[in-house]
Structure 1
Amino acid sequence: MEIYQYFTAVSATVFFAFVIVLIRRDSILMGAAFRWLILALAILSLGIYPKLADVIAHWFGIAYSPILPVILACLILMLKALIADIERAKTQVKLDRIAQKLAAVEMDLKQMKNKK
């Protein structure tokens, strides 16, 4: 094994272990934990077997195989940004509904006080 293979293997193993620790401590939400676990497994696979990127790149017709992880990273980051926007939109809708319900309850409370 070349020195870079040791470095990538150790880095990928540390990242994988870190994700596992975060999942065990419930520091990551369950929906995101699955995505991070899949990503950690992919990084671990490419870190231990860097020639795997050459094989996969050849399957997709990519001549310069080191660009494959870069392309995948860009796609994953775009997907992560999209998922974050969807979750933020859902949270905003829930917050708006809670604010509307609170305003309705406050209005009902004022009406009850005025009747007395």
Structure 2
Amino acid sequence: MLTGQITSAILGAAIAGAILFLVRRDHLHGPYALWWLGVAAATFVLGVFPQVVVWMGNVTGIFYPPVLPIIVAVALILIRLLKLDIDRSRQERQLRRLTQKLAILEQELDRLGGSLPAASSDDELD
């Protein structure tokens, strides 16, 4: 049992270290880093204090406490996926609106007899 505790605690500390490294390198931004640091902290705490799982299992009425972290993890994954879908939908909506505004501005520019500079062509935007 002690080996599992040590492994879980090391895993939690390693996840926290990796998250801090990614934040420092600007590969991961604030709100996402907080989410993952929470995961790392939970992993560490459950590794150091496995009695918490047993206590939470008794409180929630789960008769086999080791399944509780799995249930919580699956629920958190589903919540995270829902948040990602919400963010993606918001970004797609913003992109559609920006595309429509750009089309309106290009039409207005054509109507006024102007032309776009060469740097704004679609090939150079990518």
The farther-off stretch of 43-52 and 83-92 is 43-52
Separation (CA, whole Å) in 2 of partners of 1:16 and 1:50: 19
The question of 1:67 aligning with 2:80 is answered no
Count of matched residue positions in the alignment of Structure 1 and Structure 2: 114
The farther-off stretch of 85-94 and 38-47 is 38-47
The question of 1:110 aligning with 2:110 is answered yes
The farther-off stretch of 35-44 and 104-113 is 35-44
Cross-structure match for 2:83: 83
Amino acid at match of 1:76: L
Q: What is the root-mean-square deviation in Å for CA atoms of aligned residues?
A: 1.6
Extract unaligned runs of 5+ from structure 2.
Answer: 115-126
Could you list the per-position Cα deviations for residues 89-116 of structure 1 after superposition, in whole angstroms to 9, with x for gaps in the alignment?
A: 11001101110111011101110118xx
Q: What SS does the corresponding residue of 1:113 show, helix, strand or coil?
A: coil
Could you list the per-position Cα deviations for residues 13-34 of structure 1 after superposition, in whole angstroms to 9, with x for gaps in the alignment?
A: 1112212222333321222222
Could you list the per-position Cα deviations for residues 33-75 of structure 1 after superposition, in whole angstroms to 9, with x for gaps in the alignment?
A: 2212222211111122222211111111111011011001110
- Conserved? CA contact 2:4–2:47, under 8 Å: no
The question of 1:55 aligning with 2:55 is answered yes
Percent identity of equivalent pairs = 31
- Conserved? CA contact 1:16–1:44, under 8 Å: no
- Conserved? CA contact 2:12–2:42, under 8 Å: no
TM-score (norm 2): 0.82
Q: What SS does the corresponding residue of 1:66 show, helix, strand or coil?
A: helix
Extract unaligned runs of 5+ from structure 1.
Answer: none
